[in-house]
């Protein structure tokens, strides 16, 4: 038995324990992965060498920690090097049995001998108990000299154990080893002594072994000298290079795991874990028999998402499914109706959809079990995966091409893994198995297709009711009161949904009180905030990429995961989760043996309290258990029975509580939960119910209300009640898709139970008991308060005397209403502030801040409950002056487009006068503004934003910035893109954004060059290369885990990280996003500060915050929590005249601030002085706070969280349970680590290839002398050309140099971002191939790619360039002689390109330029394409079936102009690349021309017509919803 | 919101007025109503502001302006009317006499013309009367509690109606012979024809409100009686004590308080006969009205209709600017020059004039000795308080108030001839009559009745609201106070 030790051990995985707001559970990683294999399966030491070389060449995809030396993790998964080990052990006198008859365990043990001994002893004992023979141990030689400090400190002792098979049958040996490992893991994890945390078994197998650690690729072989031994031979090797967001990457979390290496992120992880937990009770397998209990729980908590994925995959494989089969279950490709596939395959996927939800998220997975080595990509194809096959049977698969050198003559084929596809090497058959064969074989293993058809149950097949349920108006009124409906919700939420089938749109930020601080009874829903994807996982565009999304789900009992029978498909299939009252009646009346519904009323006594509510929940549990025992398969939680004496239990509470209860009882898979509630009406409500376990919901009061609105004529259009209900459902469905996609989740099956929410203001007990696993970091209300709020509403519906009020509550959550919800902005506050800045009246400003800061009336924000800790004041004269504080202020990003020209320039001028910074926003900037006005006034925005739309992001734009800000998310709508409707795109805006006037502009939800943290590092590198003087800033939005992302951002070498609050403004956003996504900055900022300090990264990155910063007090609090810079948005707008109309999205701003309408703009009355005064006032007030707190400089003040306290009497009844200790936690070693930025990031720019080139082309740049260089290139050479381009444009302006002044001829595989932001005058030619992001932001010049000389195969059948080529290009041309990956020319707005084939989503969001595709295209071509032209050579004539025709028309090429343009481009392609395909087409032009299809955006055509007529503006009014949604 | 671009497409339309030469010959209302089709487009001008200043800042009743504008635009009149009545018992009265603080705070008025909120209100409620939508709403159940309301002005009537609808038995005691207080006797018919009031009073009676006129509480019935007979007493007797001008010559005949003058004419219009000795008539007289406010303006209109030979209105303060000065920004109430319909009908207006002495011939006034004055700048910058800053706003938005002083312009003295002088100098405070004394109610430093936030006076079970508490103010504010007091009284009765 281990001796109990008295000091706290670190977390099981070696992570530090959660402290303050930092929680290791929110760690993310990204990486580089790959494998190399010999088809002949012959072990070869060169494979190991090459594998290590791949790792080293992928090093830029990994990261190092705060000590600048510790790698985040690297490792190899190899077949057991039998010969090497046999020799090693032989030397020690141990003779190994035949390969396959012994198992090799790679074991990490504590370095301390005593605990190591105990762990090893227990391992031996368990192995023996399981019938294995202990053959011996081997101490693995390690050399820690190159390790970083962090890695060395936590380094384990590495040993290998050899286990004999004993009497275990050969085919069960691998499973036996699995059981041994799980048993040992569980046993030792239960120990509480300090050393045991280091114990970990990287692998225990008779086939494979894992060498890994907290290393960088180049450290791997130094640390494990084994790998260098010539006898150490392998037929394959899987490699992984890790990039962890924080610097507690531990030894155990390095990859590969036992079966896989993963690059990506499982977004739906919590749901997958919950599902697996629920299933565990029913797991049975003939392969395991009773021993299945030994491996439970299947999931080892504390693991990363990849580790957990590996756990489940391992179970499926050990229980008998093949690796590929299991992967097809876990990461199914998209099989929606848009995809052409066989019935068998569709049947396979549908069948398995009823068994397991997708493990959704961006993923490239490499797996190996000894026989099969393969790779697969998720349905969205969001991670790159390139492969090369040689003539001599070598297969190289990696995140990048060119990771090892292969002579061109050896190359047989170069390809990439496509979305949802699999690539498999079968070492037993010595061949590559193509995707189509893998899938076909698995799909036909069993008649899945028939099983599904024969067994699935559909609602429409159930009994049809004869009566239509309806509600009496009086009853409806009472129910509306009871569920807290307001007139405002009817008008602003439900009516728009029912009118247009879209969610309502709003603008400006959310300044209303947090639910826990609101004095009005809040629905429980209001205490939750949606999480969203940022950086480490991309959100999805649910409109333009709808084809991968799905709302289909199954309800009813699940069967044993480890078995497959026809009955597994016998579940009720729902096309979407919204049930009408009629649907529910159908369900209740069902007479199907497998559909046995049972009503569970969710009510509690109206006269009771929290205790009554708790008892009612217990009664619900008991009733549900009884129903399950009696054979119910669907439980309908219903609050229809609500009456005077019975109030409704909040539906979310009832649903989640029962869901978790049933999981705990092992009954969850036996029933589906359907919720019939009057409470739910918004998208957020439906999302929460689904996220916490409901399979479907029927919002019965919402339906009745929609009917009432329709019949009362209160909708925008005259609709029948049924039509309105239909549209309402549509709006909910679209909203749900948007909600999932915000988190990067594609299907409702993954979203269900995924709990991707954070609670704010919910007490710990309630959360632990009923919402287990949900983060809730400031505590809050309990059942008592929940009951009280519910009963307050109930009392309105059933007043003690008399009738309920006729009118509903006025509301006030969105628009201010007297007596309604509290808002920070009141008429008084706005008029005071405007008066102050117009008349330069500090007294009036103080009156304004008194209104905002006054705790009693503006208890709206978390910080309103803080107070400063007393300290010795200093005289105010000794406090740093206003002038120096001003430099810390920025105006928030607001685009030219959302703001009118006058307002935008007014702010820029003011900020420049102050020596502060304005932010261009994402709409580009007129180059005119780079030059000062004659008056000397400077209108140039010092901060320039780079957002997902990349509008106006030209090289010139980038070089005219002091700071470049990468906007990952925006507080008002994190995780989604935006749309600028055509009528706002004036000629001027179009020019600045490089688009066409009148054409709608779409910015995608993700940056298509940031799907993970290493991509962000790459973009930072790109931007830093093009403008080395600019600071790089990354804008994040507060949510749980933002701290770890910020740490990742710091490691990506950003200079600044901005933590925006959820309440920031917006020009247009769905109300759900404004209200329900993101968190207050107080939480995000504190978490960021704590995590950065804990990771020793705070010293090298500046922290900025924004989000409803309004007063000197706000700034002081932000500084104490860790911010050193401060952003202001709404207050700046109010200073120049904004009166919070919240009409930005309608273009009708009556004060001319947020509008493009010239009539309204002429009403703009703001002046730079107003902004200047505002900032001076803020600085002055900040000084006053500093003086009273005793700080002379802001630097001293940053991060002094010890000077913050909670107001002594948190005197509001709901706020009593709040606990801010996590926010106010003082970091452990706060005295040692810097609390603020004190050093610059090391951008390591000197080492890049461009730096080397610059010296050689100086003459070309300075004297326009042509220069021609020939050089080799490798994948580690990234952003080649960007640095030169920045220098050229800075010197020569946007026009750059004359064509071909600089010619760069490379041979090899170019690294990422080749030719990024290329300037006119540079021609880059690569003989070889190139990686992702070629020509990103290209502004001119030319890029030519040709296959290497001597390579076999035809160019148009081989991949030559990766994903996301020409993203956001504004000019230049590219000729690519081969195939390109996904998202070719995404958001191109000016480049011309010829390519021989593209993957999925080609020309997505394109707004300009010309693309010619001389070969095949993937799915979803031209999605969201609103400008430019594409010509596709469509030999198969199937192009139309794969293109997305929502916004484009397909035409033939018939006008003379088009023919000339096309021919010129094809000729140029032939000329520059000698493409055989181009030659072939040109040789018989007339015959080939008819096969070309012209892709013409409809908007674009209309705009061109208007331009021809001399009109530059579309005056037709566009409905509000089009602002964000298309059509 | 009805129409996002409505405010750009339609101009504001103001109601038309009857021609001057016609209207000065009778006492009927001066303004025409806006045609219904205009109301629709006028309502479309409403922008449904994120912060509706009209509602949240301007209107003391927090009238739900954006909502009812939207409903009017959509033609949902009945629902719009319901919303209107949800915050206002007498929109047909405020629709005629309110200075429309809402419109002053309308966001459109920042740089354009405000929405015609008052006209929409009026049109809406008048349509309601026409259509028969406005019906008595008697309480479903009687509480058995009795409430006395003292004074039948807007505060008293609003309180009475609210309390009756809660099921309480309400008796309104009115000193005068008719119900209505200031509404009936203080406001001239040409601004508010009295049938408008009678029509509404019918509704109150049908809802169970009992009226006892010619009863002066504290005199005709004792405080003890009231206490014995009622569970709660509401004092809403207004602030009738007029401000006097005690300068030499004040004793001359022909100098009257405005309220006496206006009441008399209203009685006359109502058919009462005024004893000759009490008559105050302007016919063929040179009339001087002291005081430039609304009451003064009402006196001007009344004198004009009575056939005054000349009318001069004098104000101590300087002539207000035509447009808002920076110190008086939107959305605060603009202190700008206002021209009422009475001013349109003729007469002189003098500003910055101090009256030094009344001059007389014999016992009767014959003129005034006046001097021009100059005002200093305020001694500190100030943010002019809106009259609409509601007491319900808990936030202390204390402003630095500046004081101004004046001095006489040397050698600027002049004389005005006058046969009739009307003092319209405002009101000092509530009249502390025998009832107040007998109930033992504390007064505030200004002489008004002191109440707490629940409208309780210092005497238990006795509440007060309206001008009696706040000092003379607008009808709309009196209604607001009456409503809120009624809520408090209802709470009191439920818990007592």
> What is the rounded distance in angstroms from the CA atom of residue A836 to the CA atom of residue A681?
42
- 0.80 exceeded by pTM: yes
Residue A1068 has pLDDT above 50, yes or no: yes
B11 interfaces chain A, CB cutoff of 8 Å = no
Cα A947 to Cα A978: distance, rounded to the nearest angstrom: 11
Q: Give percent above pLDDT 70 in chain A.
A: 96
**Is A832 close to B105, i.e. CB distance below 8 A?**
no
Closest Cα in chain B, distance from residue A650 (Å): 29
Mutating which of A487, A818, A832, A1517 best tests the B interface, going by the most B Cβ atoms within 10 A? A818
Residue A1033 host element (H or E):
strand A1031-1037
Give residue A1244's pLDDT band: very low, low, confident or very high (50, 70, 90).
confident
Q: What percent of chain B has pLDDT over 70?
A: 94
Does the distance separating the beta carbons of B82 and A807 come in below 8 Å? yes
d(CA A1044, CA A1097) in angstroms, rounded, equals 11
Q: Which of B75, B383, B390 sits opposite A844 (nearest CB)?
A: B383
pLDDT band at B402 (very low <50, low <70, confident <90, very high): low
Query: CB burial class (10 A; 0-12, 13-18, 19+) of residue A55?
Result: buried
Per-residue model confidence (pLDDT) at position A391: 94
Q: Among B51, B53, B61, B78, which would you mutate to test the A interface (most chain A Cβ atoms within 10 Å of its Cβ)?
A: B51
A834 touches chain B (CB under 8 A): yes
Q: How far apart are CA A329 and CA A320, in angstroms?
A: 13
User: A1132: exposed, middle or buried (C-beta count within 10 Å: 0-12, 13-18, 19+)?
Assistant: buried
Contact residues, chain A, for B487 at CB < 8 Å: none
Interface test with A, best of B114, B326, B397, B493 (most A CBs within 10 A): B397
Identify the pLDDT of residue A25: 67
SS3 B463: strand
Q: Which of B5, B51, B75 minimises the CB distance to A1139?
A: B51
Residues B329, A834: C-beta atoms closer than 8 Å: yes
- The mean of the pLDDT values for chain B is 92
Q: Using one digit for the tens of pLDDT, what is the confidence trace for A1140-1152?
A: 999 988 889 999 9
- Chain B residues in contact with A834 by the CB 8 A cut-off are 329
Of B47, B111, B139, the CB nearest to A1163: B111
Chain B: closest CA distance from residue A511 (Å): 11
Tell me whether residues B139 and A802 touch, CB distance under 8 A.
Answer: yes
Identify the pLDDT of residue A1095.
Answer: 86
The pLDDT of residue A1210 is 61
Of the pLDDT bands very low, low, confident and very high (cuts 50, 70, 90), residue A1212 is: confident
In angstroms, the separation between the Cα of residue A1067 and the nearest Cα of chain B is 13
Q: Is A1140 on the interface with B (CB under 8 A)?
A: yes
Q: Is residue B108 less than 8 Å (CB to CB) from chain A?
A: yes
Band of pLDDT at residue A1370, cut at 50, 70 and 90: very high
The 10s digit of each residue's pLDDT in A1423-1442 is 999 999 999 999 988 999 99
Specify the 3-state DSSP secondary structure of B42: helix
Judged against a pLDDT cut of 80, whether residue B338 lies above it is answered with yes
Model confidence at B383, pLDDT cuts 50, 70, 90, reads very low
pLDDT at position A246, please? Answer: 66
The residue written with tokens 């685009």 in the block is A895
**Residue of B2, B10, B50, B137 to mutate, testing the A interface (most A Cβ within 10 Å of its Cβ):** B50
CA distances from B378 to A669, B293, B327, B410 (A): 77, 21, 11, 22
**Could B86 and A819 be called an inter-chain contact, meaning their C-beta atoms sit closer than 8 Å?**
no
A473 touches B: beta carbon within 8 Å: no
Is A180 within 8 Å of chain B by CB? no
Q: For residue A418, what pLDDT band results from cuts at 50, 70 and 90?
A: very high
pLDDT in tens, A825-869: 999 999 999 999 999 999 999 999 999 998 655 688 999 889 999
Q: From the list B8, B86, B381, which residue is nearest A1159 (CB)?
A: B8
Instruction: Give the nearest chain A residue to B80 (CA atoms).
Output: A807
Q: At what angle do helices A700-711 and A721-742 cross, to 10 degrees?
A: 130
Nearest by CB to B51, from A825, A1146, A1148: name it: A825
Partner residue opposite A815 with nearest CB, options B50, B83, B381: B50
Give me B41's structure tokens: 């487009």
Exposed (0-12), middle (13-18) or buried (19+): which is A1245, by Cβ within 10 Å?
A: middle
- What confidence tens digit (pLDDT) does each residue in A743-782 have? 999 999 999 999 999 999 999 999 999 999 999 999 999 9
Residue B68 with chain A: CB contacts under 8 Å: none
With cut-offs at 50, 70 and 90, classify the pLDDT of residue A3.
very low
Is B57 an 8 Å CB contact of chain A?
A: yes
| Lateral strand order in the sheet of A260-264 | A260-264, A363-368, A372-377, A422-426, A431-433
The residue of chain A nearest to residue B74, with distances taken between CA atoms, is: A714
Partners of residue A823 in chain B, C-beta under 8 Å: 51
Q: B99-127, pLDDT tens digit by residue?
A: 999 999 999 999 999 999 999 999 999 99
Q: Quote the pLDDT of residue A303.
A: 83
- Chain A with chain B: Cβ pairs closer than 8 A: 148
Q: Maximum CA pair distance of chain A? A: 95
Residue B60, chain A, CB below 8 Å: the answer is no
Q: How far is A1141 from chain B (nearest CA, A)?
A: 4
* Residue B150 contacts residue B173 (beta carbons within 8 Å): yes
C-alpha to C-alpha distance for A1488 and A1491, rounded to whole angstroms = 5
Q: How many other C-beta atoms lie within 10 A of the C-beta of residue B344?
A: 13
Report residue B477 as tokens: 């504010």
- End-to-end alpha carbon distance in chain B: 44
Q: Is the ipTM of this complex over 0.85?
A: yes
A830 touches chain B (CB under 8 A): yes
| Chain A residue closest in CA terms to B400 | A843
Cβ distance A479 to A678 under 8 Å?
yes
Q: Which residues on chain A are in Cβ contact (under 8 Å) with B389? A: 828
For residue A1515, the model assigns a pLDDT of: 45
pLDDT at A463 > cutoff 50? yes
Coil, helix or strand at residue A1387? coil
Q: Side-chain half-sphere of A1074: how many Cα atoms within 13 Å?
A: 23
Instruction: Reply yes or no on whether the pLDDT at A1450 is more than 80.
Output: yes
Asked if the model's pLDDT at residue A652 lies above 90, the reply is yes
Q: List Cα–Cα distances, B386 to A819, A831, B105, B123, B155, in angstroms.
A: 19, 11, 10, 27, 21
The Cα–Cα gap between B186 and B182 comes to 4
Which of A712, A856, A1141 faces B107 most closely, judged by CB atoms? A1141
**CB count, 10 Å around CB of A78?**
28
b/e burial code for range B31-42 (CB count within 10 A of at least 16 → b): bebbeeebbbbb
* Mean pLDDT for chain A overall: 91
pLDDT of residue A998: 84
Cβ separation B51–A844 shorter than 8 A: no
Among A714, A818, A854, whose Cβ lies nearest the Cβ of B76?
Answer: A714
Residue-level pLDDT at B381: 43
**Using the beta-carbon criterion (under 8 Å), do B396 and A508 form an inter-chain contact?**
no
> Cβ(A1040)–Cβ(A775) under 8 Å?
yes
- Among A84-98, A1055-1069, B53-67, B362-376, the minimum mean pLDDT is found in A1055-1069
**Residue in the structure block whose two tokens are 């309601």:** B128
In angstroms, the CA B100 to CA A500 distance is 36
Q: Which residue, among A708, A828, A1151, A1153, would best test binding to B if mutated, counting the most B CBs under 10 Å from its CB?
A: A828
* pLDDT of A13 above 50: no
pLDDT tens for A1252-1297 read: 898 899 989 999 999 999 999 999 999 999 999 999 999 999 999 9
pLDDT of A1089 strictly over 80 = yes
Percent pLDDT > 90 in chain A is 77
Model pLDDT for residues A259-303, shown as the tens digit of each residue: 999 998 888 888 999 999 999 989 999 999 999 999 999 998 778
Compute the average pLDDT of residues B322-329: 88
- Residue B20's pLDDT is what? 95
The answer to whether A727 and A719 have CB atoms below 8 angstroms apart is yes
Rounded to an integer, the average pLDDT of A1068-1076 is 88
The percent of residues above 90 in pLDDT, for chain B, comes to 87
A712 contacts on B by Cβ (under 8 Å): 76, 79
CB contact under 8 A, B49 and A817: no
CA distances from B241 to B257, B426, B427, B429 (A): 10, 9, 5, 6
Per-residue pLDDT tens over the stretch A338-382: 898 999 999 999 999 999 999 988 889 999 998 999 999 999 888
A807 to B393: CB separation less than 8 angstroms, yes or no: no
A1453-1511 tens-digit pLDDT: 999 999 999 999 999 999 999 999 999 999 999 999 999 999 999 989 988 888 887 65
Which whole number is the average pLDDT over A1122-1144? Answer: 95
Q: What is the pLDDT of residues B136-189, one digit of tens each?
A: 999 988 999 999 999 999 999 999 999 999 999 999 999 999 999 999 999 999
Close Cβ partners of A759 (under 8 Å, ≥ 6 residues apart): A527, A528, A529, A767, A771, A774, A775, A776, A780
pLDDT of A730 higher than 60: yes
Residues 6+ apart with CB under 8 A from A1458: A1429, A1431, A1494
Strands A1492-1497 and A1427-1433: antiparallel
Q: Is A846 on the interface with B (CB under 8 A)?
A: no
Q: Which burial class, exposed, middle or buried, applies to A799 when counting CB atoms under 10 A from its CB (0-12, 13-18, 19+)?
A: middle
pLDDT band at B399 (very low <50, low <70, confident <90, very high): very low
Catalytic residue set of A: 31
| Dist. CA A150–CA A154, nearest whole Å | 7
Any idea what DSSP says for residue A876? Answer: G
In terms of Cβ atoms closer than 10 Å to its own Cβ (0-12, 13-18, 19+), residue B12 is middle
């Amino acid at each position: 038995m281990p001796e109990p030790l008295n000091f706290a051990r670190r977390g099981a995985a070696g992570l530090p324990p959660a402290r303050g707001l930092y929680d290791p559970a929110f760690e993310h990683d990204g990486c580089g992965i790959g494998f190399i294999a010999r088809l002949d399966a012959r072990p070869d030491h060169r494979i190991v060498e090459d594998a290590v070389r791949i790792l080293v060449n992928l090093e830029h995809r990994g990261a190092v920690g705060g000590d600048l030396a510790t790698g985040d993790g690297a490792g190899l998964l190899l077949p057991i090097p039998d010969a090497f080990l046999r020799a090693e052990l032989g030397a020690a006198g141990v003779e190994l049995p035949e390969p396959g008859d012994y198992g090799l365990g790679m074991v990490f043990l504590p370095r301390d001998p005593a605990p190591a001994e105990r762990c090893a002893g227990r391992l031996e004992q368990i192995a023996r108990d399981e019938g294995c023979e202990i053959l011996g141990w081997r101490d693995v030689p390690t050399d820690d000299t190159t390790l970083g400090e962090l890695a060395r400190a936590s380094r384990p002792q590495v040993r290998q154990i050899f286990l004999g098979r004993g009497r275990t049958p050969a085919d069960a040996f691998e499973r036996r080893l699995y059981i041994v490992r799980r048993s040992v893991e569980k046993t030792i994890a239960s120990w509480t002594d300090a050393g045991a945390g280091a114990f970990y078994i990287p692998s225990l197998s008779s086939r494979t072994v894992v060498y890994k650690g907290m290393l960088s690729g180049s450290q791997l072989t130094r640390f494990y000298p084994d790998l260098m031994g010539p006898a150490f031979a392998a037929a394959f090797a899987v490699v992984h290079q890790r990039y962890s967001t924080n610097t507690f990457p531990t030894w155990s979390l390095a990859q590969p795991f036992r079966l896989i290496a993963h690059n990506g992120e499982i977004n739906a992880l919590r749901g997958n874990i919950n599902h697996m937990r629920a299933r565990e009770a029913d797991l049975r397998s003939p392969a395991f028999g009773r021993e299945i209990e030994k491996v439970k729980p299947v999931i080892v908590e504390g693991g990363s998402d990849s580790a957990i994925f590996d756990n489940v995959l391992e179970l499926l494989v050990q229980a008998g499914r093949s690796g590929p089969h299991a992967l097809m279950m876990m990461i199914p490709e998209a099989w929606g109706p848009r995809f052409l596939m066989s019935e068998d395959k569709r049947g396979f996927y549908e069948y398995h959809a009823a068994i397991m939800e997708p493990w959704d998220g961006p993923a490239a997975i490499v797996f190996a079990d000894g026989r099969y080595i393969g790779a697969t990509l998720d349905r969205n194809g969001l991670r790159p995966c390139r492969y090369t096959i040689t003539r001599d049977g070598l297969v190289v698969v990696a995140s990048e091409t060119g990771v090892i050198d292969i002579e061109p003559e050896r190359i047989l084929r170069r390809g990439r893994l496509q979305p949802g596809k699999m690539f498999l090497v079968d070492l037993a058959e010595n061949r590559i198995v193509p995707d189509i064969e893998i899938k076909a074989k698995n799909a036909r293993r069993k008649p899945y297709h028939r099983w599904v058809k024969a067994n699935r149950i559909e609602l429409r097949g159930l009994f049809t009711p004869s009566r239509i349920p309806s509600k009496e108006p009086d009853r409806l009124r009472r129910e509306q009161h009871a569920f807290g409906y307001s007139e405002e919700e009817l008008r602003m939420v439900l009516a728009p949904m029912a009118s247009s089938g879209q969610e309502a749109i709003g603008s400006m930020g959310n300044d209303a009180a947090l639910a826990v601080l609101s004095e009005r009874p809040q629905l429980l829903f209001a205490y939750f905030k949606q999480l969203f994807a940022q950086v480490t996982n991309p959100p999805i565009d649910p409109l333009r990429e709808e084809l991968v999304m799905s709302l289909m789900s199954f309800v009813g009992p699940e069967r044993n995961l480890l078995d497959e029978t026809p009955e597994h498909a016998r579940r009720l299939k729902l096309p979407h989760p919204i049930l009408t009252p009629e649907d529910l009646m159908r369900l209740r009346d069902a007479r199907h043996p497998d559909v046995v519904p049972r009503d569970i009323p969710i009510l509690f006594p109206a006269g009771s309290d929290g205790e009554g509510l708790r008892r009612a929940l217990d009664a619900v549990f008991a009733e549900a258990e009884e129903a399950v025992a009696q054979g119910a398969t669907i439980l309908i939680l219903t609050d229809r029975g609500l009456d005077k004496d019975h109030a409704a239990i909040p539906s979310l509470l009832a649903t989640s509580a029962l869901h978790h209860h049933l999981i705990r009882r092992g009954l969850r898979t036996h029933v589906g939960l359907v919720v019939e509630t009057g409470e739910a009406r918004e998208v957020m409500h439906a999302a929460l119910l689904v996220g916490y376990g409901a399979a479907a919901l029927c919002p019965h009061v919402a339906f009745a209300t929609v009917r009432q609105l329709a019949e009362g004529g209160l909708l925008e259009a005259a609709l029948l009640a049924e039509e309105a209900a239909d549209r309402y459902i549509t709006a909910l469905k679209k909203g749900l898709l948007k909600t999932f996609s915000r988190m990067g989740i594609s299907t409702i099956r993954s979203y269900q139970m995924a709990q991707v929410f954070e609670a704010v203001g919910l007490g710990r007990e309630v959360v632990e008991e009923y919402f287990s696993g949900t983060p809730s970091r400031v505590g809050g209300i309990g059942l008592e308060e929940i009951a009280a709020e519910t009963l307050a509403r109930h009392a309105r519906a059933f007043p003690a005397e008399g009738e309920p009020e006729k009118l509903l509550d006025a509301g006030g959550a969105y628009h201010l209403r007297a007596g309604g919800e509290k808002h920070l902005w009141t008429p008084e506050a706005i008029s005071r502030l405007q008066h102050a800045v117009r008349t330069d009246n500090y007294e009036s400003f103080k009156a304004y801040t008194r209104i905002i800061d006054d705790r009693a009336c503006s208890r709206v924000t978390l910080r309103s409950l803080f107070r400063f800790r007393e300290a010795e004041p200093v005289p105010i004269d000794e406090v740093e002056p206003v002038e120096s504080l001003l430099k810390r202020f920025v105006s928030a990003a607001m685009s030219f487009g959302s703001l009118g020209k006058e307002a935008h320039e007014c702010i820029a001028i003011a900020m420049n006068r102050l020596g502060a910074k304005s932010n261009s926003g994402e709409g580009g900037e007129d180059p005119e503004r780079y030059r000062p006005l004659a008056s000397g006034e400077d209108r140039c925005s010092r901060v320039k934003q780079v957002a997902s739309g990349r509008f106006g992001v030209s090289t010139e734009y980038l070089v005219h910035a002091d700071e470049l800000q990468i906007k990952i998310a925006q507080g008002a709508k994190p995780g989604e893109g935006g749309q600028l409707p055509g009528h706002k795109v004036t000629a001027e805006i179009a020019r600045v954004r490089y688009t066409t006037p009148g054409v709608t502009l779409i910015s995608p939800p993700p940056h298509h060059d940031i799907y993970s943290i290493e991509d962000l590092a790459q973009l930072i590198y790109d931007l830093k290369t093009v403008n080395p003087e600019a600071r790089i800033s990354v804008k994040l939005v507060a949510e749980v885990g933002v701290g770890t992302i910020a740490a990742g951002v710091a490691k990506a070498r950003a200079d600044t990280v901005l933590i925006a609050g959820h309440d920031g403004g917006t020009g247009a956003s769905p109300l759900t996003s404004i209200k329900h996504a993101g968190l207050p900055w107080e939480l995000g900022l504190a978490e960021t500060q704590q995590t950065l300090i804990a990771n020793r990264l705070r010293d090298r990155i500046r922290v900025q915050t924004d989000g409803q910063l309004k007063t000197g007090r706000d700034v002081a609090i932000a500084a104490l929590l860790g911010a050193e810079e401060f952003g202001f948005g709404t207050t700046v707008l109010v200073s120049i005249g904004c009166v919070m109309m919240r009409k930005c999205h309608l273009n009708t701003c009556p004060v001319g601030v947020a509008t493009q309408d010239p009539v309204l703009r002429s009403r703009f009355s703001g002046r730079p002085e107003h902004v200047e005064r505002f900032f001076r006032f803020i600085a002055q007030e900040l000084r006053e706070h500093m003086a009273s707190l005793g700080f002379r400089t802001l630097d001293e003040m940053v991060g002094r969280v010890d000077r913050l306290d909670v107001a002594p009497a948190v005197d509001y009844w709901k706020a009593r349970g709040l606990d801010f200790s996590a926010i106010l936690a003082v970091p452990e070693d706060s005295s040692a680590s810097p609390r603020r930025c004190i050093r610059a990031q090391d951008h390591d720019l000197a080492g890049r290839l461009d730096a080397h080139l610059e010296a050689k082309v100086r003459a070309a740049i300075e004297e326009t002398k042509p220069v021609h260089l020939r050089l080799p290139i490798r994948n580690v050479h990234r952003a080649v050309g960007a640095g030169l381009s920045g220098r050229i444009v800075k010197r020569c302006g946007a026009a750059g140099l004359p064509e071909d002044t600089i010619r760069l001829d490379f041979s090899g595989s170019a690294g990422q971002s080749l030719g990024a932001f290329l300037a006119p005058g540079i021609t880059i030619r690569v003989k070889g191939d190139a990686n992702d992001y070629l020509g990103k932001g290209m502004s001119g010049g030319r890029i030519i790619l040709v296959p290497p000389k001597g390579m076999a195969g035809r160019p148009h059948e081989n991949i030559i360039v990766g994903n996301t080529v020409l993203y956001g290009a504004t000019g230049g041309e590219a000729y690519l002689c081969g195939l390109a990956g996904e998202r070719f020319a995404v958001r191109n707005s000016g480049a011309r390109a010829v390519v021989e084939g593209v993957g999925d989503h080609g020309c997505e969001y394109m707004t300009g330029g010309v693309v010619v595709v001389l070969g095949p295209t993937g799915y979803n071509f031209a999605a969201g394409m609103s400008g430019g032209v594409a010509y596709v050579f469509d030999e198969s004539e199937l192009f139309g079936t794969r293109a997305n025709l929502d916004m484009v028309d397909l035409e033939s090429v018939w006008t003379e102009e088009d023919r000339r343009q096309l021919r010129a481009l094809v000729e140029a392609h032939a000329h520059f690349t000698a493409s055989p395909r181009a030659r072939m087409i040109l040789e018989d032009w007339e015959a080939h021309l008819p096969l070309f299809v012209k892709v013409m955006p409809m908007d674009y055509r209309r705009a061109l017509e208007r331009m021809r007529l001399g009109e530059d503006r579309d005056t037709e009014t566009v409905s509000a919803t089009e602002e964000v949604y298309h059509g | 919101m009805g129409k996002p671009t409505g405010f750009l497409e339609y101009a504001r339309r103001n109601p038309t007025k009857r021609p001057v030469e016609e209207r000065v010959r009778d006492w009927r209302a001066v303004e025409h109503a806006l045609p219904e089709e205009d109301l629709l487009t006028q309502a479309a001008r409403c922008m449904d502001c994120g912060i509706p200043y009209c509602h949240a800042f301007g209107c003391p009743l927090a009238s739900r302006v954006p909502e009812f504008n939207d409903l009017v635009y959509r033609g949902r009149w009945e629902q719009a009317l319901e919303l209107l009545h949800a915050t206002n018992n007498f929109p047909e009265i405020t629709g005629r006499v309110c200075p429309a603080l809402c419109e002053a705070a309308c966001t459109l008025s920042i740089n354009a013309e405000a929405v015609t909120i008052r006209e929409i209100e009026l049109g809406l409620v008048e349509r309601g009367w026409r259509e028969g939508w406005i019906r008595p709403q008697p309480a479903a159940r009687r509480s058995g509690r009795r409430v006395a309301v003292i004074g039948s002005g807007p505060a008293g009537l609003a309180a009475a109606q609210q309390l009756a609808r809660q099921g309480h038995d309400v008796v309104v005691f009115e000193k005068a012979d008719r119900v209505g207080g200031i509404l009936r006797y203080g406001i001239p018919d040409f601004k508010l024809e009295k049938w408008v009031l009678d029509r509404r009073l019918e509704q109150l009676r049908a809802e169970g409100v009992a009226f006892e006129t010619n009863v002066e509480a504290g005199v005709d019935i004792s405080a003890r009686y009231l206490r014995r007979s009622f569970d709660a007493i509401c004092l809403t007797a207004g602030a009738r004590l007029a401000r006097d001008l005690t300068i030499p010559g004040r004793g001359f005949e022909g100098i009257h308080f405005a309220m006496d003058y206006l009441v008399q004419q209203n009685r006359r219009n109502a058919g009462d006969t005024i004893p000759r000795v009490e008559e105050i008539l302007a016919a063929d007289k040179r009339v001087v009205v002291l005081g430039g406010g609304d009451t003064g303006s009402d006196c001007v209109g009344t004198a004009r209709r009575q056939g005054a030979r000349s009318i001069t209105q004098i104000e101590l303060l300087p002539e207000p600017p035509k447009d808002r000065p920076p110190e008086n920004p939107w959305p605060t109430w603009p202190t700008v020059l206002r021209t009422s319909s009475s001013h349109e009908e003729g007469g002189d207006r003098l500003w910055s004039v101090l009256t030094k002495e009344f001059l007389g011939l014999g016992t009767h006034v014959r003129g005034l000795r006046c001097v021009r004055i100059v005002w200093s700048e305020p001694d500190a910058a100030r943010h002019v308080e809106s009259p609409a800053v509601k007491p319900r706003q808990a936030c202390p938005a204390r402003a630095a108030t500046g004081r101004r002083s004046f001095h006489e312009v040397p050698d600027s003295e002049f004389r005005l001839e006058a046969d009739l002088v009307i003092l319209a100098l405002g009101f000092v405070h509530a009249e502390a009559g025998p009832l107040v004394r007998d109930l033992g109610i504390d007064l505030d430093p200004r002489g008004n009745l002191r109440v707490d936030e629940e409208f309780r006076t210092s005497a238990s079970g006795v509440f007060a609201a309206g001008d009696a508490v706040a000092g003379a103010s607008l009808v709309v504010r009196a209604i607001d106070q009456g409503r809120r007091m009624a809520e408090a009284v209802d709470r009191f009765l439920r818990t007592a």
